[in-house]
Amino acid sequence: MTDISFRAEAVRCPHCGAPVHFDAKIGKLCCEHCGTVTEPEDINIKEATTDEAAKSAHYDPGTGDIASFRCTSCGAEMYSSGVTAALSCPYCGNNTVVPAQISGEFAPDYVLPFAKTREEALAAYENYRRKNIFKRFMQPRVFRRTLSTDDIQGVYVPFRLYDGTAEAEASFVTYDRKPRLYTETLTGTLEFENVPADASKRIGDDLMDNIEPYELSELKTFSAAYLPGMLAERPDEKKDIDEERAKKRVKKSSVSLMKAELNHKHVEEERSGKIKLGRSVSHYALLPVWLLTTRYKDSIYRFAMNGQTGKFIGELPMSAKKTLALAFLALVLPIVLCMAISTELWAIGLTIGAFVALAIVLGVFWIMQVKDTASVWDADYYIKGKIRIESHTEKENK
């Protein structure tokens, strides 16, 4: 186990030297003391030395290595996840960036600046928590407290974006009216651009898939000056795992586009399709996410908002106590009502009550399982031009 210390460079106001932060509303850096507004291009941050970049490349967060960050403003030592690329110093309040984590092999090509503010993220969370009356009643008390903007963290999540051409091949058994079946084999090419795969292990893939799409035409050439005030991380996911994810998405899109070209209405069977990625290039970009994490009964519940578009996704647990109370009420109420009318009806009341109570318990457990998130995504949003079908053969099955 090794201990590696990184330089965390404080980003200061060019006018008075106080801490600055990136303001999503105006897309510029704001001084917290004198209010001076600075264009990101006008901020100079001392770049990493080759030694520092090598240290970062050598450092492996998966092996239990410890990383510390030394604030260049006050000299304090901070500890954080070993993939941290920007953080705020708890001692002097300066927003810092870590040059070693954004240079060499970890130098991002692009950054997509935050367009939604912390206040907008908090408002979206409150709206989500309250919009469904049932969820609002059933959520555990810990979720009902009013949060402050400090509970929400702005994170630049590392993403790999894939450009290229996919050559796809697939066979389908199709029919118009049974029993006449046909086999149709199609090959085609598909061009795609910026298919994203998040390169962070810490942040759930499905959470990130669900806040897509990002409007990636607004990507800016990377500059560390966009980072102050946010947390940023460098990739810790392996490249081939990300490429596999991007490929899966492209495949899903190609298959559905091919299906649209079939000569017969119905698909009886989909034979395994092949996909080959040719000329695939990956770029590395930091994309903006507002994150909120709540702990409840040993599980962590995350809420995420797309920092560019404001698309919001989350999971909310149901209180177990409230579920049982509701079920008990459902059991007892029919019996009491029946007994009030006639003493012989109580048996019917007991039966009805038991069924209703059971239904409530099962219903709530079902809702607890259903999350607002879904996984396995396609790449439809990132297709450049339609698929070109190059060959299409059809034969009647005997």
Query: Which residues are near Zn ion by CB under 5 A?
Result: 13, 15-16, 18, 31, 33-34, 36, 71, 73-74, 76, 89, 91-92
In the complex, least distance from residue 28 CB atom to Zn ion, rounded to whole angstroms: 13
The CA distances from residue 269 to 6, 92, 254, in Å, are 56, 64, 16
In the complex, least distance from residue 36 CB atom to Zn ion, rounded to whole angstroms: 4
Contact 95, 19 (CB under 8 A): yes
Contact 310, 136 (CB under 8 A): no
Q: Residue 73 corresponds to which tokens in the numbers above? A: 């403003």
Is 74 or 376 the residue whose CB approaches Zn ion more closely? 74
In the complex, least distance from residue 11 CB atom to Zn ion, rounded to whole angstroms: 12
Is 20 or 102 the residue whose CB approaches Zn ion more closely? 20
Is 92 or 181 the residue whose CB approaches Zn ion more closely? 92
Cα distance between residue 51 and residue 138, in whole Å: 54
Residue with tokens 């960050």: 69
Q: With b meaning 16 or more CB within 10 Å and e meaning fewer, what string describes 247-276?
A: bbbbbbbbbebbeeebebeeeeeeeebebe
Is 22 or 303 the residue whose CB approaches Zn ion more closely? 22
Is 38 or 280 the residue whose CB approaches Zn ion more closely? 38
Phi, psi of 147 (to 5 degrees): -90, 160
In the complex, least distance from residue 23 CB atom to Zn ion, rounded to whole angstroms: 13
The CA distances from residue 27 to 30, 130, 158, 227, in Å, are 9, 30, 20, 11
* C-alpha closest to that of 207 among 375, 82, 73: 375
Cα distance between residue 186 and residue 135, in whole Å: 47
Is 33 or 46 the residue whose CB approaches Zn ion more closely? 33
In the complex, least distance from residue 106 CB atom to Zn ion, rounded to whole angstroms: 23
In the complex, least distance from residue 157 CB atom to Zn ion, rounded to whole angstroms: 25
The CA distances from residue 124 to 116, 129, 230, 290, 370, in Å, are 11, 9, 19, 10, 21
In the complex, least distance from residue 66 CB atom to Zn ion, rounded to whole angstroms: 19
Is 75 or 385 the residue whose CB approaches Zn ion more closely? 75
Cα distance between residue 390 and residue 254, in whole Å: 13
In the complex, least distance from residue 71 CB atom to Zn ion, rounded to whole angstroms: 3
Is 93 or 213 the residue whose CB approaches Zn ion more closely? 93
Residue with tokens 């009902």: 144
